[in-house]
């Protein structure tokens, strides 16, 4: 069906249902991989991930607030806002005194744990149908992927990678340690 052989029904299933899911899955996977690599370099921790420092819980809180109490059309904006707000809070908590990577991790774990509790509370207080749709959104699914969603995701990925490209050298300097990186001009 992928190369023209097969029934019309098989072609529909492969080309209209499966192929868009695979393509979007590859784009999203590449974005998550790039974000993870940048985060690991920034945190100087090969095991570092956004969930350790609370960003995932913050994004989930923002998404849940919009899903349960707002317009579902703005869920992505709520998730981005929640993640950014969490990043700012964690950064402010970690910068008290001198900034060190360990302090960032500890502040992130504390904020992430608090927000995970808030998320559980929001889900238990929501109506069953709203809680189920919110849980599906939080887990993620490519089940309703359509062709028109692939190009915007790919454009966003390329744009964000181009924005991140100039920071790669500065992130490499961070691997030398806080004092050496500061001596070389990295804030």
Cβ burial of 124 (10 Å; 0-12, 13-18, 19+) is exposed
Distance separating alpha carbons of residues 135 and 116, to the nearest angstrom? 13
> Residue 159: what pLDDT?
95
CB 54 within 8 A of CB 105: no
Mean pLDDT of successive 10-residue stretches along the chain, which has 187 residues: 71 80 93 85 74 90 92 89 94 75 83 95 92 88 86 94 82 60 56
Q: Domain residues of the chain, as ranges?
A: 1-47+148-187, 50-145
The torsion defined by the Cα of 21, 24, 29 and 31, in degrees rounded to 10, comes to -170
How far is the C-alpha of 41 from the C-alpha of 50, rounded, in Å?
12
DSSP 17: I
pLDDT, position 143:
84
């Amino acid at each position: 069906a992928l190369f023209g052989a097969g029934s019309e029904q098989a072609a529909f299933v492969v080309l209209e249902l499966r192929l868009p899911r695979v393509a979007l899955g590859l784009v999203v996977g590449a974005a998550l991989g790039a974000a993870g690599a940048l985060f690991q370099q920034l945190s100087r921790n090969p095991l570092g991930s956004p969930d350790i420092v609370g960003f995932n819980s913050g994004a989930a809180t923002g998404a849940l607030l919009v899903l349960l109490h707002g317009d579902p059309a703005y869920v992505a904006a709520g998730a981005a806002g929640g993640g950014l707000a969490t990043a700012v809070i964690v950064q402010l908590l970690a910068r008290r005194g001198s900034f060190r990577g360990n302090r960032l991790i500890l502040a992130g774990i504390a904020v992430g744990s608090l927000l995970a509790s808030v998320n559980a509370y929001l889900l238990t207080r929501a109506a069953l149908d709203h809680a189920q749709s919110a849980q599906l959104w939080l887990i993620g699914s490519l089940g309703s992927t359509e062709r028109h969603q692939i190009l915007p995701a790919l454009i966003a990925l390329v744009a964000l990678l181009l924005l991140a490209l100039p920071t790669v050298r500065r992130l490499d300097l961070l691997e030398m340690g806080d004092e050496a990186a500061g001596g070389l001009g990295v804030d």
